[in-house]
Structure 1
């Protein structure tokens, strides 16, 4: 399929042309894509998939780009579908509905404004809810599945591509696992098992998504991300809602590990709980921290992070991933499983 044959309204209406994928990834890596779509509703999303399917165009869907390594030379026919504008938080009865492109960190602000600590663990998690559900995102002892009531999704194998639902108990959640990894389903949102607290909370939360779209997510910059959320907790503190110790600990940990100093995608490998030692600690034992290749470096402060130190290419990141993989296999007898998605 050549670009000249594109004539479908949804593709023409929703796609930007010749856009660098580096601006959609917290790694700041990725070549120019011929087609990047930014749907804001489930209807637009379904229409886009139907048009792509009709035209025989491949597509790739992603959220905030915080766990993705885009290629240096993208497939020229690929339609890259970003959910960054698909951001909504609203009341649904006595609970909250959150759309898939909403940053998980916004949930922590929603909880803080509502007087609950159940969402504190999402603070400064640099990913969107859809991706968090897909991989059952985790921080310390809390997981996204702990706060999910019902998940809404589009089944890409169905002709109608209508929105369907599945209760959390049937989502097969486990460590970094969910049912969505085994089906052609695109998550569009979820009901949370978090009650609505007050009219004041509703008013505050109603302004969060517009504020994020205006100030927080252009481009996918980790310093900008950090600045937005730090500013919001300071603003809430100014209104008499103090920042809890749990959030202060997260700020201290992430700044101490220099998580926001350079473009990165956080932890590159999953922890092997059967082995019992965190991957970052194993890299530390192997004296690999600070190893450089091209513009990339294994973080001197966190062994499970590979940083874009100086205009790194995707190939530089992959090279250092292979260095870590081979060293861990040789020394500790297992192959670490990547957490980052290689597109």
Structure 2
């Protein structure tokens, strides 16, 4: 095998700061980082990693990830954010893994339905949303997904497979994809194609995202882009529904886009019956600082990178909250954030 012509060498950039690929703005330099644009490129890359014995880490926009300060030297970091596609298949919509979830809300808005409103300003792509069954209030990604397409990395052929949403074992921030080495490629939505205008608008929105949303891991840029798009639609007579206005009010009120973060750090323990952020507030931990990280003064379940924080700074505060909640309330809060290990290890 000619290593210099391998997929890893052709598709990977070298010595790339992972901080630029995370909404946390944290992470050391990756020795290998790839941005495949098709499932064929992804499969070719994985095959090459297997041949060379190189571990990989798959992610989307990095909105729910804390990268390490010192990434594994041999790990190939693979972001799917360039695998962004929205297309009409007969009467249904197919959306690929790297497409921002927030674009779905605009797709629904143009189509005259409110079933996708909850995805507005969810900072992440559809693949990750399916993987973790992302939610806002009472609605979840599993509510809008019909069929999911994926690769089983243990299958030597790496052929594209499909699975119905009913078989995906969706639960609160859980899915079958967390239980197997499967990579989500995209999904058919439970959304009918309403008009040619909706098809044309979907193409325009996606093109604008690719052109103007060139740095989707920046929360301010992300917020500015989607706020601008709903203003643009309003200028065409498509009014912003109250549900979206409420989302804007809530997220700006909680300062979600003022500093780099990954959103909620812990899942809520519904058996306990109280949101984790409320418990952190009860413990008087909001505003606690360590290094360049701080527990948000506005939301107890968010840890912000407010002054060039390191992964170690954030992990210190995660451990602080974990120990305090366990001591005071008798349970260990389950992290929602994905902590990427420094050592080399295959992961999804």
For Structure 1 versus Structure 2, the TM-score category normalised by the shorter chain is over 0.9
Match of 1:334 among 315, 331, 335: 331
Mapped pair 1:212 → 2:217:
no
| 8 Å Cα contact 1:217-1:225 kept in structure 2 | no
Shift of 1:14: 1.1
Mapped pair 1:115 → 2:112:
yes
Counterpart CA distance in 2 for 1:82 and 1:298 is 28
Match of 1:70 among 48, 67, 72: 67
Mapped pair 1:258 → 2:263:
no
Match of 1:42 among 39, 42, 49: 39
Cα deviation code 1:111-163 (max 9, x no counterpart): 01111000000000001100100111110010000000000000100110010
- TM-score w.r.t. length of structure 1: 0.98
| 8 Å Cα contact 1:152-1:163 kept in structure 2 | yes
| 8 Å Cα contact 2:94-2:187 kept in structure 1 | yes
Stretches of structure 1 that go unaligned for 5 or more consecutive residues are none
Mapped pair 1:272 → 2:262:
no
Shift of 1:12: 1.7
Corresponding residue for residue 139 of structure 2: 142
Counterpart CA distance in 2 for 1:222 and 1:6 is 37
Counterpart CA distance in 2 for 1:182 and 1:28 is 28
1:255 partner SS: helix
Cα deviation code 1:297-324 (max 9, x no counterpart): 0000000000000000000000000110
Counterpart CA distance in 2 for 1:241 and 1:209 is 18
Shift of 1:7: 3.2
| 8 Å Cα contact 1:124-1:226 kept in structure 2 | yes
Match of 1:315 among 312, 315, 319: 312
| 8 Å Cα contact 1:23-1:219 kept in structure 2 | no
Higher relative contact order (CA 8 A, sep 6+): 2
- TM-score w.r.t. length of structure 2: 0.96
Counterpart CA distance in 1 for 2:183 and 2:35 is 15
RMSD of aligned Cα (Å): 0.9
Mapped pair 1:177 → 2:181:
no
Compared with structure 1, are the counterparts of its residues 146 and 210 closer, same or farther at alpha carbon in structure 2 (3 Å cutoff)?
same
How many residues end up aligned between the 2 structures? Answer: 339
Q: How does 1:156-175 map to 2 (within 5 A)?
A: 156-175=153-172
Counterpart CA distance in 2 for 1:270 and 1:159 is 35
2:14 partner SS: strand
Stretches of structure 2 that go unaligned for 5 or more consecutive residues are 341-348
1:7 partner SS: helix
Corresponding residue for residue 242 of structure 1: 239
TM superposition outliers: structure 1 runs of 4+ over 2 Å: 5-9
Counterpart CA distance in 2 for 1:203 and 1:102 is 17
